[in-house]
Amino acid sequence: MNTREISELVEMHGNAIYTFCCSLTHNKIEADDLYQETFLKAIERKGKMHQNENPKSYLLAIAIGIWKNSRRKYARRQRIAPMESLNENSGGENGLSMELTKSITTEDRMINKEMCQIVRYEVEQLSDKLKIPLYLYYTLELPVENIAKIMKIPTGTVKSRLFKARKELKVKLEEHGYERR
Amino acid sequence: MKEDKQINMLLKQVLSVTKEPDDLLNQTIISKAKERNAMSKKKRMPMVAAAALTILALSGTALAASRFLGTEKVAEKFEDYKLADAFKGKDAVSINKTVQSDQYDITLLGIVSGTEISDYIATGDEEILSDRTYAVVAIANTDGTPMPSTSDENYGQEPFFVSPLIKGLKPWQYNIATMNGGYQDFVEDGILYRLMECNNVEMFADRGIYLCVSDTTFYSVDAYDYDELTGEITPNSEYEGINVLFDLPIDISKANREKADVYISEMETEEDEDSKEDEINESVDASALKNAEGDVEERVAAGTLLKDSVMELTADVDGAATYTYEAKDGSGVNLYVILEDIFAGIEEGFSPQTVEINGDEESVQYIVAYRKDADGKMYGMMYQFQ
């Protein structure tokens, strides 16, 4: 892979891969580390596998592999969730859309902001088996078929994991008053 | 169903986030990649004895007579001169056999296996892989139409899965994808050349080794049949597409049953670990739930109460309260709770509901607990566990 190809790969898929790394690690330093390792491993492998066909999937599969095999290295550091992410980001660009919130009261919106934070926390508590397809599906908006290829599992399994994740989340969120929404 | 849609919507809104890496981070990746490329090139050492060169030139001539490039030329195209030498060496097997399948002529040109026979370093998840098998396959349109070049937008529209398969081992478990494999393509004179590599399969030579070529991205159970009794793998005659299967003529004397058994055992252990991990995750979830329903008072007694974390919970109009705790270093929690839910059926004492939080250090954990006093006042508090 020459320098131009590497630059193109980073330019075209950097944001998606970085977003995914942030979702997995919840920590900028670790996200940077995982992101960098992902690209360097892809380059090291001379990774033409899927590179021309679907380089994003190839890179995501590598990121998942590194993440799974380096859990200790990427052991949760975020401890108690950072206050800034709870209070600042949860209702902004990452929070509920204006379209959805425009008809609800300020008070409701405050509750929704809290709910965003709770949802993120509860998603993070899920096992990798459920969490990874959830991030691929909702954060990167990949179709189930692509997720199946990336995770090397049948599409039916992806669907059942997404279903199970939603079901588990629903139970957890109900503990936080989700039913009232 | 309605609720499922509701949570689906909620997840879409909450998890739909885009993050951008710093420019500096991207520049670091590009710089490191340049350095590594430079290091790889320095490692090229095409030190071949003159006598060997003469012999190899003859075998090269034989291949040059065919319509395809020789395996060593293919390796050279990828600037892997060490591998090119290996393809010219005594351990390489020149095959040059063509099978027509679904309007394609698939030709297995040759195969070579060995330790450190490439200029490039292959890596597994956390290790350098030096004992490898390499095979070259040429794919051409039967009607002579040129295959799209790798820079053509149509390249890759038709995927090709090229992988060794081993007789007696489930092909969906033992293939290029599970054996640390990879490949590179290039197109010359309208012919697609694929150089594939994976862990050395010679150890399985006594079992029988195949090389499959299918029009799929990964191994396809539709394209091939696997007989669990005999271990035979055969192309599925009803499959509509490419499903070629070559027998790899690898010298049986290269088999290493002991090594193969260790390899299989390791592969199975990995699979078991994966499934155990899933089971553990599930049991941890179950155990967490059980703990939550257990005696919270007993659990928190083993921890240290962070005195400044105790906060009275006051119900808002919805009967909910927000528990907030901010540590001196700026970290903290902010939890929204429905009081009647967390204290359902409790006159006095701890709620069975807790929130467990991992600390900065692996050995530190926190639990947020909720307690109701005899006077009806409710509190949230945090305990630290070492």
Q: What is the pLDDT of residue B338?
A: 78
B120, B278, B331 member nearest A129 (Cβ): B278
Residues A59 and A90 in one domain: no
Tell whether A40 is within 8 A of chain B (Cβ).
yes
CB < 8 Å to B78, chain A: 46
Last residue of a domain, one of A26, A42, A69: A69
Q: With cut-offs at 50, 70 and 90, classify the pLDDT of residue B360.
A: low
In a domain, A150, yes or no: yes
Residue B123 has pLDDT above 80, yes or no: no
Residues A130 and A161 in one domain: yes
**Nearest chain B residue (CA) to A58:** B182
Last residue of a domain, one of A69, A94, A114: A69
Contact (CB<8Å) A80/B357:
yes
Q: Which of 325-384 (B) contact A at CB < 8 A?
A: 325-327, 330-338, 341-342, 353, 357-360, 362, 364, 366
On whether ipTM exceeds 0.90, the answer is: no
State the CATH class of domain B48-254: mainly beta
Q: With cut-offs at 50, 70 and 90, classify the pLDDT of residue A97.
A: very low
CATH number, position A162: 1.10.10.10
Residues A102 and A139 in one domain: yes
Q: What is the pLDDT of residue B145?
A: 93
Residues A96 and A54 in one domain: no
CATH number, position A59: 1.10.1740
Q: With cut-offs at 50, 70 and 90, classify the pLDDT of residue A73.
A: low
Q: What is the pLDDT of residue B282?
A: 42
Out of B128-132, B237-241, B286-290, least confident range: B286-290
Residue B227 has pLDDT above 90, yes or no: yes
Contact (CB<8Å) A15/B32:
no
- The pLDDT tens digits of the residues spanning B329-359 come to 666 676 777 788 788 888 888 888 887 776 6
- Please give the residue that has the higher pLDDT: either B37 or B127: B127
In a domain, A176, yes or no: yes
Q: What is the pLDDT of residue B45?
A: 27
Q: What is the 3-state secondary structure (H, E, C) of chain B?
A: CHHHHHHHHHHHHHHCCCCCCCHHHHHHHHHHHHHHHHHHHHCCCCCCCHHHHHHHHHHHHHHHCCCCCCHHHHHHHCCCHHHHHHHHCCCCEEEEEEEEECCEEEEEEEEEEEECCCCCCEECCCCEECEEEEEEEEEEECCCCCCCCCCCCCCCCCCCEEEEEECCCCCCCCCCCCCCCEEEEEEECCEEEEEEEEECCHHHCCCCEEEEEECCCCCCCCCEEECCCCCCEEECCCCCCCEEEEECCCCHHHCCHHHHHHHHHHHHHHHHHHHHHHHHHHHHHHHHHHHHHCCHHHHHHCCEECHHHCEECCCCCCCEEEEEEECCCCEEEEEEEEHHHHCCCCCCEEEEEEEEEECCCCCCEEEEEEEECCCCCEEEEEEEEC
Compute the mean pLDDT over every residue in chain B, rounded to the nearest whole number.
79
CB < 8 Å to A135, chain B: 15
Residues A119 and A159 in one domain: yes
Residues A104 and A151 in one domain: yes
Last residue of a domain, one of A69, A103, A127: A69
In a domain, A165, yes or no: yes
Residues A104 and A175 in one domain: yes
Tell whether B37 is within 8 A of chain A (Cβ).
yes
Q: What is the pLDDT of residue B290?
A: 40
Q: What is the pLDDT of residue A178?
A: 67
In a domain, A77, yes or no: no
In chain A, how many domains are there?
Answer: 2
Contact (CB<8Å) A83/B185:
no
Structural domain of A110: 83-180
- The pLDDT tens digits of the residues spanning B292-318 come to 445 788 888 888 898 888 999 988 766
In a domain, A76, yes or no: no
Q: What is the pLDDT of residue B74?
A: 93
In a domain, A21, yes or no: yes
Q: Which of B1, B6, B29, B77 to mutate to test the interface with A (most CBs of A within 10 A)?
A: B29
Residues A40 and A105 in one domain: no
Q: pTM of the entire structure?
A: 0.44
Residues A87 and A138 in one domain: yes
